[in-house]
Amino acid sequence: LVLSYFNHPTRDKIALFAHIDYPNLVFSTNLLTFGPVLNNTLVKQTISATNNTSTAAAFAWSYLKEHDRDETASKIRKKLEEPLFPTNEVFDIHPIRGIVPPGETQHFNVSFFGHSNISAGCTAICDVHGGPEYVIQITGDASMVAYKIDCVDDRIDFGAIEYFSVHERELFLHNTGRVSIDVRIAIPTNFTNNLLVKPSRIQVASGSQQRFRIKFIARRPSLVEAYFDLFVGYFLPRKITVTGSGICSLATTSFPTTTLSQIPLRDQLISLLNAQDHPVTLDSLIPVNSMIVNAPLSTYVCDFGYIVRGTTRKCSFEFSNCGDVPITIEVDKQELGSAPFRIDPMKVIDFPPGQSMKFTISYHAPNKKTEAVGDVSAVVDMCLGVGSTCRIQVNANVTVPDIALSSSCIDFGDVVIGRRSVHFFRIVNPTPVASEWFD
């Protein structure tokens, strides 16, 4: 600034300095999408605005009202495009006005209220005093929960199943709505030893499907019914009934049966379960059940009687599947061990119900002089899959043929020439088997 004076040659200079700043805000986003939300629920999101200038920024929010640009549009179109609710009843911004100091950040809470099946959008204007206007686009829509499951009459029937086998089915839940849904499975405590559903809690996105694995075990040879509750969103629980008819593998042989002492398996199982500190569930009971799975349904006797040492004896018998399902027959080799018994065939797969087939048990007594003679027995367990065993008790008595003479010396004494002297002796067989002798 130069100062000059009238009638005087002096001139003064004054330096002027100024800093001009422009109020400005930097927003974290210019687009907010609430996406499909549940009907009649309130959802909030947060956006932030930072003042990077050296002057305070005063702001105020407002909603942009768009006027119809096409004045010739039909009244029907105008009516259809008319919003059902005012903007301020759908969207809300807080705080609506204020001041952001230099270098500070202001957080805004943007709310969306999902009126029933609404689809709305608006343009929010943040007007900074002495600065620009900032445009934020906000959209949101609401919908109801809609889903379906591939389960007829809310029942899952496993049909006829082996009562000690764990069987698995799949249940699919389809989210046909536009909102994500929370799904939860609840199994009553009295059915946890029969039923297991995984996953037990999950969120299913819109338009997707979720697979649930259902494991079921009957645990007794009869019709068993259980259920679990399916919780979807805010709906009342849906009862899904699970049924299965427990059956067991049954077989019989042409051998006679024997009466053995009864094994108190039930009492042993109850004592084991009472000793557990943790809840009894489907997973925790499976190892315990393995103790009684292979309990013999019946015990048959195959008696070879007396066998001469060094000979082979065979015995054939009929094996019948008198159950309702095919069975797999497998001979337990560990039970036989080193016993000289063998059975043929050792394994049969998918033996149909109502059919019979021939098995052969052979016995070969080792021809060793040091081999002891007497009673020999072994147990042949024919496993019928999971749940039952057919046991055959094989007996034999190994012996050695022998004879005894009534006299070991014959003395004819004096015999007259031309005459014949006859003496008799007796041969005795002291063994229970026939003895062949020759001179």
pLDDT by residue (tens digit) across 142-166?
A: 988 889 999 889 999 998 888 878 8
pLDDT for 76? 36
Is the backbone of residue 342 left (phi > 0), alpha (psi -120 to 50) or beta? beta
**What is the pTM (predicted TM-score) of this model?**
0.60
Q: Give ∠ CA 379-384-390 in degrees, rounded to 5.
A: 35
Strands 389-399 and 296-308: parallel
Q: Which of 374, 384, 328 is nearest to 351 (CA)?
A: 328
Query: Is domain 290-399 given the CATH code 2.60.40.10 in the classification?
Result: yes
Tell me, what's the pLDDT at 229? 95
H or E, element range at 140: strand 133-143
Q: Hey, do 25-143 and 290-399 end up sharing a CATH topology, with the first three levels equal? A: yes
pLDDT tens-digit map of 276-316: 454 555 555 444 444 444 566 778 888 888 888 778 888 88
Enumerate the domain spans of the chain: 25-143, 147-247, 290-399
What φ, ψ does residue 154 adopt, rounded to 5°?
Answer: 55, 40
| Strand 238-247 relative to strand 155-162, pairing | parallel
- 380 phi and psi angles, rounded to 5 deg: -110, 110
DSSP H stretches of helix in 146-196: none
Specify the CATH superfamily of domain 25-143: Immunoglobulins (2.60.40.10)
Least confident of 10-19, 29-38, 204-213, 369-378: 369-378
Q: Give the fold, CATH level 3, of 147-247.
A: Immunoglobulin-like (2.60.40)
The SS3 call for residue 293 is helix
**Is residue 12 within a helix (H) or strand (E), and if so which, with residue range?**
strand 8-13
